[in-house]
Amino acid sequence: MIKRRLNLPPAGTETFFLWGPRQTGKSTLLKTIYPEAIWIDLLKAEEFRRYLSNPEFLRQELPLEGEMPFVVIDEVQKLPELLDEVHWLYENRNVHFALCGSSARKVKRGPANLLGGRAIRYELFGFSATELGSDFDLTRILNHGYLPRIYLAEKPGRLLNAYVANYLKDEIAAEGLVRKLPVFSDFLNMAALSDTEPVNLSTIARDCGVSSQTIREYFQILEDTLLGRWLPSFRRRPKRRVAASAKFYFSDVGVVNFLAKRGKLDPGSELFGKAFENWCFHELNAYNMYNEISAAFYYWRLASGTEVDFIVNDMDVAIEAKAARKITDDHLKGLRSLKEDHADIKRRIVVCCEDKPRTTSDGIEIIPAVKFPQVLWKGTVF
């Protein structure tokens, strides 16, 4: 079994939410860490109906006194009303819970009880390179994606098809998140084509035949269902005009490949480079969240198109993702332009497919992709 890097608390010491996209391995991780926990699976129809009709059963089924059990509620977003009982049990009987789900939308946007801020939030991502260790295969992960079952599969196509179909059926249609499912399906394809690029809401709206506000709401659904996240533009203290539009990154590059109909990605191709950038952002986010660093990420882009992929915090580190096998001066233009506008930048890094690390004469670090996760997870990047 591949050991995950997310550190969850010992049973009975904290009540927490564990969020993550579908099939990232949340349930498997919880069952591994908490084998003695009482397990409530709201994916089971009979269990869902039972607590839907009588949420107070949760309180009645747990002991009144003595040592309190640790309780896992899986797919908690399906029944937010149960959180009132969770809150009462936490306050009055000191019962601790792991509340697991793949969509925070109904919990965040409805009248659901968020336990008065008492519950800690964790997030589980797909496989990171450091979890795979010596089994990490860059070409495989950029083609298959990060979801454990799909990464390990020999033929990921059918699994990705089922993943997207179930997402539309279970997360979108079943929860009534959109009125026109075919339009949202078209939007998913358009959004995938925009992965790693500044998002133009008007263009996507025109292609989908809906308003820009509807497209904005659709992106919010992707964010709330943990299928992607925004990367804002760095706009502090600009000397020259910079881009204002945010970028959007899907949480799994395999899903992007399927929706955008990319086919097989070969090293050296343009699409391989786009997938490589998504992977770098995935690694940065996993490291940041698992280690509770709370770093902020941005991208930097001039009106001329000169760009740096990732800025960490207020110019602590600038990172450029280039899937090239040899980095040339052309690949370094963005980082050098950034230095002209922000002389206080502390560190500049290129993550690439070269074989060995090196440093240019003006201090830009060239780090091979196979080495970058090791450097990152040692805590020496930020």
Please give the radius of gyration of the chain, using alpha carbons only, rounded to the nearest integer.
22
CB proximity list for 75: less than 8 A, separation 6 or greater: 41, 42, 43, 100, 101, 102
CB proximity list for 52: less than 8 A, separation 6 or greater: 79, 81
Contact 22, 163 (CB under 8 A): yes
Q: What are the tens digits of pLDDT across the range 4-13?
A: 999 999 999 9
CB proximity list for 166: less than 8 A, separation 6 or greater: 22
Contact 159, 150 (CB under 8 A): yes
Q: What are the tens digits of pLDDT across the range 288-300?
A: 999 999 999 999 9
Residue 9: alpha-carbon gap to chain centroid: 21
CB proximity list for 18: less than 8 A, separation 6 or greater: 8, 26, 29, 30, 98, 99, 100, 101, 122, 123, 124
Asked if the model's pLDDT at residue 111 lies above 80, the reply is no
Min mean pLDDT across 140-154, 227-241, 253-267 is at 227-241
**What percentage of the chain exceeds 70 in pLDDT?**
96
For residues 213-251, b (16+ Cβ closer than 10 Å) or e, as one string?
Answer: ebbeebbebbbbbbbbbebebbeeeeeeebbeeebbbbb
Task: Of 175, 159, 118, 355, give the one whose Cα is nearest residue 252.
Answer: 159
Query: How confident is the model at residue 66, as a pLDDT?
Result: 81
Residue 16: alpha-carbon gap to chain centroid: 18
| Residue spans of beta strands (DSSP E) within the chain | 16-19, 38-41, 70-74, 96-101, 120-123, 228-231, 247-250, 297-301, 307-312, 317-321, 348-352, 358-359, 365-368
Left if phi > 0, otherwise alpha if psi is -120 to 50, otherwise beta: which for 221? alpha
pTM: predicted TM-score of the whole model, two decimal places: 0.94
Report the alpha-carbon distance of residue 34 to residue 3 in Å, rounded.
Answer: 15
CB proximity list for 81: less than 8 A, separation 6 or greater: 52, 55, 112
Q: What are the tens digits of pLDDT across the range 46-91?
A: 999 999 999 999 999 998 888 889 999 999 999 988 999 999 999 9
Query: How confident is the model at residue 339, as a pLDDT?
Result: 96
Contact 314, 382 (CB under 8 A): no
Could you tell me the domains of the chain? 16-123 (3.40.50.300), 129-377 (no CATH)
Tell me which DSSP letter residue 121 carries.
E
Report the alpha-carbon distance of residue 285 to residue 290 in Å, rounded.
Answer: 8
Q: What are the tens digits of pLDDT across the range 113-155?
A: 566 666 789 999 999 999 999 999 999 999 999 999 999 999 9
**What percentage of the chain exceeds 90 in pLDDT?**
85
CB proximity list for 264: less than 8 A, separation 6 or greater: 143
Report the alpha-carbon distance of residue 45 to residue 40 in Å, rounded.
Answer: 12
The span from the first CA to the last CA of the chain, in angstroms, equals 29
Count of helices and strands (H, E) across the chain? 16, 13
Task: Of 158, 136, 356, 131, give the one whose Cα is nearest residue 254.
Answer: 158
